[in-house]
Amino acid sequence: MLLNYVKIALRNLWKHKTFALVNVIGMSVAFASCLLLFMTAWTQLSFDDFHVNRDQLYMLYEQSGPVEKSSTMPSPLAPALRKELTADIEHITRVASGGGLVQYQNQEFEKDVQFVDPDFFAMFSFPMQKGNPATALNSLNNVVVSEKTAQALFGHTDPMGQTVLLRLNETWKPFVVSAVLADAPENSSLKFDMLARFEVNPEYQTNKDTWTNQYHTVYLQTRKNSTEAALEQRLRPFVAKYFANSIKNRKRDGGQPDENGDLTSLRLLSFRDLHFDTEIGGGNSSPVKRSYPILLLVVAGFIVLIACINFINLSTARSMTRSREVGMRKVLGALKQQLVFQFWGEAFILCLIALGLGSLLALSMLSQFNAIFRSKTSFGDLFTPGMTLTMLAVFLLITFVAGGYPALFVSRLGTIQVLKGKVSLGKTGTVRNALLIVQFAIATFLMGCTMIAWQQVSFLRNMPLGYNESQVISIPVGDRVNGRQALSLFRDKLVQQPNVLSVTGAYKNFGRGLDGSTYTSIVGFDHKSRTVRSHWQPVDYDYLKTLDIKLLAGRDFSRQYATDTLTSLIINETMAKQLGEKNPVGTLLNVNDGEPPMQVIGVVKDYHHESLKKTIQPNSLLISHDWPILYILVKVAPDNMPATMATLKKAWEEVAPKSEFHGSFLDENTDRQYQAEERMSKMFISAASIAILLSCMGLFAIAVMVMAQRTKEIGVRKVLGASVGSIVALLSQDFLKLVLVAIALATPVAWWMMSQWLEEYAFKITIEWWIFALAGLLAVLIAFVTVSFQSIKTALMNPVRSLRSE
């Protein structure tokens, strides 16, 4: 019996090749899109799942008032917590980034070195390939390496007991490899190449007893009998004891308390939420909003839904041609469940073929998909138990939905009526129309969202930033050379180059350069009995000149003034307003206790030194040899820029032969800040294109079947003198009415959703009515072109031939 059903199903699919082809293509594209989007979303949603203790792991952060948050902590905090809250905290570790240059047998390697406490191995589930987790970091000169790093440094030599050199504070120090850890998976918030004891971190010795310098993160594991709420409550007296000065200053400055009435508090961020907290989370990987993978799943669901709607509409419409077959089967004794099983079996076979083709299509597009959406999706992810079961359940649900309704509809056809050829779609026509509305509502929704997302990305890229971003090249210094020495030598090399207009250096880059790193520093101090906070940007001479930043008052840094490298500041307009001085030039600021005050020598026009997601913050420029130069900035002439870039690369190779050249224009760096927005706009464009394609395929196929049923009517109308244009309008108007209803439903939903998305940006576009009008017009035009193609063909038929055939 089962074999008979399979044979009949294959014969029917072969007999109605057009129907089968439309459904197979539609479902294949839907399955391919769904697989790619689902795997990407799965990778994001499964972040850090491999940690056995994940439900008890937290990152500590400080909250000041209702909104201000900071994930960096002072050195003495973790030991104090371990001592005073032993009943609640089972393990605790500090994690800090530091050295990145490793030497072994006279070869140098750039590696990500993290400094941690020994509890790290008890908290996190990174399998140890060699060594003992309990003793791996017992000694201050021990270091733990990842498998990949061990292979890069030692090759086939056993890494255990090998001595490597780490460059810390411009000094090479020896360390012994005591353990080898398995490489962190891609979906890990904590990534590293090497781990060393926190106490050898270059910042530790000067800050081990200081509560005011916050430069590392703290992770803790609670005991099983402790809860997040209970521990946060017990942290309140701890904060009152150790953060008394901070609370006192905030109270003096009129700081606002949080919802619990605290001016300063320590909070817990669950490790489950770490990857999705874009404000303070992410570990040392790039965090994403939880809405991003959910949005991927929604888009995947939309695409599959449209494909299922096509399948259902085509199957129910085609049932008219199989009504006599159904009637004969019923007369010969076929049961209702047998008919359902037969027709659902046909749908299952068709979906199975589509799944195979869709999988091949997804596999062929995987590399391009990863490149466009900056994903690291792999087909190996499909074969994890959870992923496999989920995808199997989704596939069965799709086949049940897509094939189940048509199968039930066919099985309910009356025997007498179908044998007489008097079959009417009845309520099925209403269902078909409703499904077409859903299809085009989704397509219109995606088109509207695409236009708004693209507008916002274009706005962010084209908004004037207050500095020269098109002619300035940023060069990361790296760890292999001293930044100030490299800057001095680089200047000398380029002094005779006519296309190089000026050279300067800075601690902080603009946007995100090719090195992938960003740095920032915020300094707080008292001025006129209140706390002032400012971004602290150490720079070098010619900074304003190189970046074309406008000086509003005072003067620029000058080599003629010896004090400019010690006690001079240039501030932006926002910082000047915060100081509250009528004429800020000449104002003395007591930044560091026990040191001479710093003097404001100039005020510059506000410029966007951070992403446009944020408002412009107070910013202070200074020249200080206590801060490193991490980036060299070069202003070049607009002529023959490729040749100029080659000149800079050659000069850099002479200045720092061991360092790779990573020069990039500042406008490229700022563009990289908006990769998430660009991915989102590309995703909407891709989804909208697929949705429109599938909707048009379904609409075209339905139009063919509906017009085939109206052949006699069209012939009569032509005989009575109807023109081709009037017939095309008559045949198209019913479909266009459905599209207009879809537009009316989709527009308010798209407007609300994108309005919520734009709230994340300090600088954003205004959503205009014409965006949705244009999206609706495009939907109408696409639907009209799709339907009119078949309408014109039907209207041009010879009426004598159509009437005779009837």
Identify which of 136-145, 383-392, 688-697 has the greatest average pLDDT: 136-145
Residue that has been written with the tokens 């076929």 in this structure: 334
In a domain, 144, yes or no: no
Q: Which long-range CB contacts under 8 A does 597-601 form with residues at least 24 apart?
A: 597/567, 598/567, 598/568, 598/569, 598/622, 599/563, 599/567, 599/568, 599/569, 600/554, 600/569, 600/570, 600/571, 601/554, 601/555, 601/557, 601/564, 601/568, 601/569, 601/570
pLDDT at 414 over 60: no
Number of H helices, E strands in the chain: 24, 25
Q: Which of 323, 556, 542 is nearest to 425 (CA)?
A: 323
Do 727 and 713 touch, CB atoms closer than 8 A? no
User: How many C-beta neighbours within 10 Å does residue 212 have?
Assistant: 10
CA 665/CA 472 separation, integer angstroms:
6
Q: Band of the pLDDT at 806, cuts 50, 70, 90?
A: very low
**Which range, of 623-632, 645-654, 706-715, averages the lowest pLDDT?**
706-715
Q: Band of the pLDDT at 739, cuts 50, 70, 90?
A: confident
CA 620/CA 506 separation, integer angstroms:
12
In a domain, 560, yes or no: yes
Question: For strand 568-572 and strand 598-604, is the pairing parallel, antiparallel, or unpaired?
Answer: parallel
CA 482/CA 487 separation, integer angstroms:
9
Residue that has been written with the tokens 């309704």 in this structure: 405
Residues in the chain: 806
CA 466/CA 612 separation, integer angstroms:
12
- Give residue 318's pLDDT: 63
Reading across the β-sheet that carries 500-506, which strands appear in turn?
500-506, 631-636, 472-476, 664-665
Do 96 and 216 touch, CB atoms closer than 8 A? yes
Token pair for 116: 């941690």
CA 262/CA 239 separation, integer angstroms:
10
Token pair for 341: 């099983």
Q: Which residues are 525's β-sheet partners?
A: 532
- Give residue 60's pLDDT: 93
User: How many C-beta neighbours within 10 Å does residue 696 have?
Assistant: 19
Q: Which residues are 64's β-sheet partners?
A: 68, 264
In a domain, 544, yes or no: yes
In a domain, 543, yes or no: yes
Mean pLDDT over the full length of the chain? 82
pTM equals: 0.75
In a domain, 665, yes or no: yes
Give pLDDT tens digits for 292-305: 888 888 888 888 88
Question: For strand 194-197 and strand 113-116, is the pairing parallel, antiparallel, or unpaired?
Answer: parallel
In the chain, what percentage of residues exceed pLDDT 90?
19
- Give residue 337's pLDDT: 67
Q: Stretch 385-402: mean pLDDT, rounded?
A: 77
DSSP character at residue 539: B
Identify which of 39-53, 80-94, 292-306 has the greatest average pLDDT: 80-94
Q: Which of 580, 518, 577, 568 is nearest to 543 (CA)?
A: 568
Q: Which residues are 142's β-sheet partners?
A: 176
**CB within 8 Å of 734: residues ≥ 6 apart:** none
CA distances from 511 to 635, 669, 673, 799 (A): 17, 5, 6, 68
In a domain, 481, yes or no: yes
* Element (DSSP H or E) covering residue 228: helix 228-242
Domain that holds residue 489: 472-672
CA 544/CA 693 separation, integer angstroms:
52
3-state secondary structure of 555: coil
Q: Band of the pLDDT at 498, cuts 50, 70, 90?
A: confident
In a domain, 635, yes or no: yes
Q: Which residues are 74's β-sheet partners?
A: 214
Do 181 and 145 touch, CB atoms closer than 8 A? yes
CA 266/CA 659 separation, integer angstroms:
41
Q: Band of the pLDDT at 81, cuts 50, 70, 90?
A: very high
pLDDT at 418 over 60: no
3-state secondary structure of 311: helix
CA 602/CA 584 separation, integer angstroms:
8
Q: Band of the pLDDT at 726, cuts 50, 70, 90?
A: confident
Do 258 and 267 touch, CB atoms closer than 8 A? no
In a domain, 241, yes or no: no
Q: Band of the pLDDT at 118, cuts 50, 70, 90?
A: very high
pLDDT at 186 over 70: yes
407/509: higher pLDDT: 509
- Total count of domains within the chain: 1
